[in-house]
């Protein structure tokens, strides 16, 4: 009864905010529609259309097949956007986006962009697309061979005419006289495989802009759709069915062919592996883990245990267990402080395996075939680190890849149910990711040694991410194998860092080290999107430096130690106007995960020498955020678009914080961005 009363009071307090939110949404949506219409009018103008048509034109798959019959040869100096109308609407501005992208990237051969999904009524007309409400945006990764072999994440793409002619001349699949299901996917695979074979993989480019839109019909009218402020939640089940069609057996043959064409099938299958397990005072789990691997009699797999100071009793238990084992092992014991990086590096120095498998002692696994599979995949050309799916004992997701970006490394979909598809099949398909967890990570010893192993200044956290980032920056791709599934009792021996103040501060310190070592990857994760959208020339020329926000000196404090603000800045810089005024320009967004964001006000805090300069924000429309964050409602107005005078701030270096105030329960959250700006 008390809970119901509390909720009723909270809803009553939030009612005025909900009404204001709806008013703001309608006003900002109208402004957004006007901007979209401006883009439409720009690309539709005769001068722009004629200029664009000289370089780029659209080519449907149906027309492509018809042209094959007539042996049509394409203009080598032009680009053709190949698309399948049944998979979505190629947006009006797509040709112009490709045209202007080529001005800055003249060597590109194949270009693909993002997709978005709209809530539409059954009587929707294509020309109304610019007024439809976006439900989701699929942010696509940089070229990802393993992901492409799992599903056609690329879909529509622009391709150079000369390369298209060469491709069609050498591709047997296009001898077909009719268009068949999966033909678009197969053509994409053939094109990417040929560029890889020609060592021109770097000419496969992703443009951060939407090229294709897809409508999701729901049984209601347009008025109801436009007035619904939970469109993302409403459409999520339908979205899950559409992107991607992972379970369709009709694509199985193409997926198999993709692995062969893209050369993703491991050549080496019988290689030596060194399993390195750091451990201290956890003999029961350690011995259980090793025992269940069933390594008896194997000569190609050795186990290296690095113990940094178990008690004599626990040390004796481990030694007694190992004496009975019929496989190669090494037990390295030294009383030292816990340093996960150093412990693995010590193990790597004495390892004889061609591949190292870093493995936590709190993992549950059956048999050893999965070790061979991961190790074999790690020997593939161009592959860096290989990880697998890890679940909590209750079956929920612990690890299906790690994403980076401005908010710092985070496990994707941690705590979500594994029984349903997460995101774009992130828990179902083998795919490329920026990083995998060191709890179970395979990597060639030669690569591990080349980049210096795990960075020992990162004693506990982010050392695995740092290793993966090092390899990515050296031209290798990291792979998640979701078809291998293990159980992880995360941090059983070490405890949970976020719930211990000292450990939490240490984690923040290590995150700062990671940001310093990999600044660009800590701004944009190349596999997750998040970079600023590619803007057309006329949009770039409309930079507005007029002041639209204000700031004041006051003190803000957090009363919620566990809450945090997810944020991303596309722009955070000081501009000098013609009359020499300093204007701070901030563009991005802020979201509190897992809750209705209508409840929150967000502010930006600049702090120097203990003094806080608080910049008051107003809601800004970001349709691309709709449905992007699981469990977070009403994120469309979580955009940040500030232009504020900082003439009255003394010069110096300021730390940037994000502040959120919850009007539902008077909660205040402050999140350190670990970013600084010079004023």
81 and 229 fall within a common domain: yes
Cβ count near 366 (within 10 Å): 11
Together in a domain, 194 and 296: no
367 band by pLDDT with thresholds 50, 70 and 90: very high
Write down which residue in 517, 551, 566 finishes a domain: 517
Domain count, the chain: 3
Is 438 domain-assigned? yes
- 29 occurs within a structural domain: no
Pairing state of beta strands 56-60 and 329-333? Answer: unpaired
The CATH number linked to 403 is 3.90.550.60
* Residue matched to tokens 């976006």: 134
Task: Please check the confidence at residue 476 and state whether its pLDDT lies above 90.
Answer: yes
Task: Examine the domain organization and report whether 640 and 605 are in the same domain.
Answer: yes
Encode pLDDT of 129-180 as tens digits: 655 556 677 889 999 999 999 999 999 999 999 999 999 988 776 665 566 7
Q: What pLDDT score does 520 carry?
A: 86
User: Based on the domain organization, do 432 and 502 belong to the same domain?
Assistant: yes
The mean per-residue pLDDT over the stretch 393-412 comes to: 85
Are residues 305 and 242 part of one domain?
no
Q: Of the spans 9-13, 28-32, 188-192, which averages the highest pLDDT?
A: 188-192
Q: Are residues 622 and 668 in the same domain?
A: yes
- Reading phi first (left if > 0) and then psi (alpha if -120 to 50, else beta), residue 571 is in beta
At 320, phi and psi to the nearest 5?
-65, -40
Residue 312: band (very low, low, confident or very high) from pLDDT cuts 50, 70, 90: very high
Banded pLDDT at 12 (limits 50, 70, 90): low
Residue with tokens 């080349």: 450
Counting runs of H as helices and runs of E as strands, what totals does the chain give?
Answer: 18, 27
- 404 close to 469: Cβ distance less than 8 angstroms: yes
Please compute the mean of the pLDDT values over residues 188-215 and round it to a whole number.
93
Does the pLDDT at position 651 exceed 90? Answer: yes
Residues in the chain: 679
Q: How confident is the model at residue 225 (pLDDT cuts 50, 70, 90)?
A: very low
Work out the angle at residue 260's Cα, subtended by the Cα atoms of residues 359 and 446, and round it to the nearest 5 degrees.
Answer: 35
For residues 145 and 87, the model is more confident at: 145
In this structure, the answer to whether residues 351 and 462 fall within a common structural domain is: yes
C-alpha span between 622 and 46 (Å, rounded):
30
β partners of residue 662 = 600, 667
| pLDDT at 125 > cutoff 70 | no
Tell me the DSSP string of 46-92: HHHHHHHHTTEEEEEHHHHHHHHHTT----TT-EEEEE-GGG-EEPT
| Alpha-carbon gap, residue 93 to 80, rounded angstroms | 14
Q: What is the pLDDT of residue 504?
A: 61
Q: Is the pLDDT of residue 531 over 80?
A: no
**One domain, residues 277 and 251:** no
pLDDT band at 31 (very low <50, low <70, confident <90, very high): confident
For 65, 66, 205, 398, the CA distances from 184, given in Å and listed in that order, are 11, 14, 18, 35
- Least confidently predicted of 21-35, 333-347, 512-526, 622-636: 622-636
pLDDT at 252 over 80: yes
Using pLDDT thresholds of 50, 70 and 90, give the confidence band for residue 534.
confident
Q: Is residue 191 part of a domain?
A: yes
In percent, the amount of the chain with pLDDT more than 70 equals 85
Residue 537 lies in a domain: no
Q: What is the pLDDT of residue 104?
A: 93
Residue 11 lies inside a defined structural domain of this protein? no
**Average model confidence (pLDDT) for the chain?**
86
Q: Kindly report the three-state secondary structure assignment for every residue of 510-550.
A: HHHHHHHHCCCCCCCECCCECCCCCCCHHHHCCCCCCCCCE
What is the bridge-based pairing of β-strands 79-83 and 56-60?
A: parallel
Together in a domain, 234 and 331: no
* pLDDT above 90 for 325: yes
Instruction: List C-alpha distances in Å: 224 to 22, 27, 28, 231.
Output: 13, 17, 18, 10
Domain boundary pick from 261, 285, 306: 261
Tokens of 152: 């056609």
Model pLDDT for residues 40-82, shown as the tens digit of each residue: 888 889 999 999 999 999 999 989 988 888 889 999 999 999 9
Q: What is the mean pLDDT of the segment spanning 278-293?
A: 95
We report the CATH number of the domain holding residue 609 as 2.60.40
Q: What is the pLDDT confidence band of residue 398, given thresholds at 50, 70 and 90? A: very high
At a CB cut-off of 8 Å and minimum separation 6, what does 450 contact? 474
Q: Return the sign of the alpha-carbon dihedral for residues 574, 576, 580, 583.
A: negative
Give the confidence band of 562 by pLDDT, cuts at 50, 70, 90. confident
Domain span including residue 663: 543-678
Are residues 131 and 189 part of one domain?
Answer: yes
Q: Where is average pLDDT lowest: 49-53, 107-111, 635-639, 642-646?
A: 635-639
| Residue 192 to residue 198: CA distance in whole angstroms | 10
Q: Which of 216, 231, 261 is the last residue of a domain?
A: 261
**In a domain? residue 44:** no
Q: What is the CATH number of the domain that holds 211?
A: 3.90.550
CA nearest 207: which of 672, 545, 554, 529? 529
Kindly state the average pLDDT of the residues 284-292.
96
- Residues 399 and 284 both lie in one domain: yes
**pLDDT tens readout for residues 424-469:** 788 889 999 999 999 999 999 999 999 999 999 999 999 999 999 9
| Cα 494-499-501 angle, rounded to 5 deg | 95
Q: What's the pTM?
A: 0.86
**What pLDDT score does 406 carry?**
60
**Is 166 a domain residue?**
yes
> What string of H, E and C letters represents the secondary structure of 11-46?
HHHHHHHHHHHHHHHHHHHHHHHHHHHHHHHHHHCH
Instruction: Tell me: pLDDT of 494 over 70.
Output: no
Whether the per-residue pLDDT at 210 is higher than 50: the answer is yes
Whether residue 528 is predicted with pLDDT greater than 90 in this model: the reply is: no
Q: What is the largest CA-CA distance in the chain?
A: 83
CB half-sphere exposure, 72, CA atoms < 13 A = 14
Flag whether 255 is in a domain.
Answer: yes
Q: At what angle are helices 161-170 and 183-197 packed, to 10 degrees?
A: 100
pLDDT at 58: 96
pLDDT tens per residue, range 374-389: 999 999 999 999 999 9
Dihedral in degrees, nearest 10, Cα atoms 250, 256, 260, 264: 120
Q: What is the pLDDT of residues 566-616, one digit of tens each?
A: 888 888 999 998 889 999 999 889 998 888 898 999 999 999 999 999 999
pLDDT at 253: 86
pLDDT bracket for residue 181 (50, 70, 90): confident
Whether residues 367 and 490 fall in one domain: yes
Band of pLDDT at residue 529, cut at 50, 70 and 90: confident
Alpha carbon distance 172, 114 (integer Å): 29
């Amino acid at each position: 009864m008390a809970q119901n009363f509390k909720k009723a009071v909270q809803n009553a307090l939030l009612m005025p905010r909900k009404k204001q939110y709806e008013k703001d949404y309608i006003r900002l949506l109208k402004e957004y529609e006007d901007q979209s219409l401006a883009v439409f009018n720009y690309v539709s103008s005769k001068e722009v259309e004629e200029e664009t048509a000289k370089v780029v034109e659209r080519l449907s798959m149906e027309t492509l097949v018809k042209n094959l019959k007539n042996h049509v040869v394409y203009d080598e100096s032009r680009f053709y956007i190949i698309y399948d109308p049944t998979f979505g609407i190629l947006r009006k501005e797509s040709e112009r986006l490709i045209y202007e992208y080529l001005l800055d990237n003249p060597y590109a051969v194949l270009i693909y962009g993002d997709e978005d999904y709209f809530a539409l009524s059954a009587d929707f007309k294509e020309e109304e697309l610019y007024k439809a409400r976006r439900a989701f945006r699929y942010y696509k990764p940089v070229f990802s061979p393993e992901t492409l072999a799992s599903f056609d994440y690329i879909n529509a793409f622009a391709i150079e005419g000369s390369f298209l002619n060469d491709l069609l001349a050498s591709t047997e699949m296009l001898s077909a006289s009719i268009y068949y299901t999966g033909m678009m996917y197969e053509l994409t695979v053939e094109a990417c495989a040929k560029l890889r074979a020609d060592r021109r993989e770097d000419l496969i480019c992703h443009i951060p802009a939407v090229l294709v839109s897809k409508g999701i019909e729901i049984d209601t009218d347009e008025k109801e759709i436009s007035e619904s402020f939970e469109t993302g939640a409403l459409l999520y089940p339908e979205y899950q069915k559409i992107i991607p069609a992972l379970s369709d057996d009709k694509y199985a043959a193409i997926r198999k062919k993709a692995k062969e064409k893209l050369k993703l099938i491991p050549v080496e299958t019988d290689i030596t592996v060194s399993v390195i397990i750091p451990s201290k005072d956890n003999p029961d789990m350690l011995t259980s883990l090793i025992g269940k691997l069933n390594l008896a009699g194997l000569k190609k797999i050795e186990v290296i245990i690095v113990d940094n100071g178990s008690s004599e009793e626990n040390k004796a238990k481990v030694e007694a267990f190992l004496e009975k084992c019929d496989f190669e092992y090494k037990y390295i014991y030294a009383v030292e402080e816990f340093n996960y990086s150093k412990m693995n590096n010590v193990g790597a120095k004495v390892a004889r395996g061609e591949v190292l498998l870093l493995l936590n002692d709190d993992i549950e696994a059956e048999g050893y075939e999965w070790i061979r599979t991961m190790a074999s995949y790690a020997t593939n050309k161009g592959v860096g680190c290989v990880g697998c799916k890890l679940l909590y004992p209750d079956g929920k997701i612990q690890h299906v890849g790690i994403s980076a970006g401005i908010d710092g490394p985070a496990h994707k979909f941690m705590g979500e149910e594994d029984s349903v598809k997460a995101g774009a099949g992130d828990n179902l398909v083998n795919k490329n990711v920026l990083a995998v967890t060191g709890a179970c990570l395979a990597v060639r010893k030669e690569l591990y040694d080349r980049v210096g192993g795990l960075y020992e200044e990162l004693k506990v956290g982010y050392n695995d991410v740092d290793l993966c980032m090092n390899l990515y920056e050296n031209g290798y791709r990291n792979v998640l194998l979701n078809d291998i599934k293990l159980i992880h009792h995360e941090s059983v021996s070490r405890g949970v860092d976020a719930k211990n103040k000292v450990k939490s501060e240490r984690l923040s310190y290590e995150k700062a080290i990671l940001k310093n070592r990999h600044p660009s990857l800590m701004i944009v994760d190349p596999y997750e999107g998040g970079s600023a959208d590619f803007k057309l020339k006329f949009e770039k020329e409309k930079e507005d430096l007029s002041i639209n926000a204000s700031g004041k000196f006051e003190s803000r404090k957090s009363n919620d130690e566990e809450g945090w603000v997810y944020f991303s800045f596309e722009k955070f810089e000081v501009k000098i106007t013609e009359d020499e005024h300093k204007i701070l320009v901030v563009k991005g967004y802020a979201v509190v995960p897992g809750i209705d964001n209508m409840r929150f006000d967000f502010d930006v805090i600049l702090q120097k020498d203990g003094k806080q300069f608080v910049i008051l924000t107003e809601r800004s429309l970001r349709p691309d955020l709709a449905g992007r964050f699981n469990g977070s409602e009403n994120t469309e107005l979580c955009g940040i678009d500030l232009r504020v005078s900082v003439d009255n701030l003394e010069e110096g270096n300021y730390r940037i914080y994000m502040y959120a105030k919850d009007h539902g329960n008077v909660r205040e959250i402050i999140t350190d961005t670990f970013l600084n700006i010079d004023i």
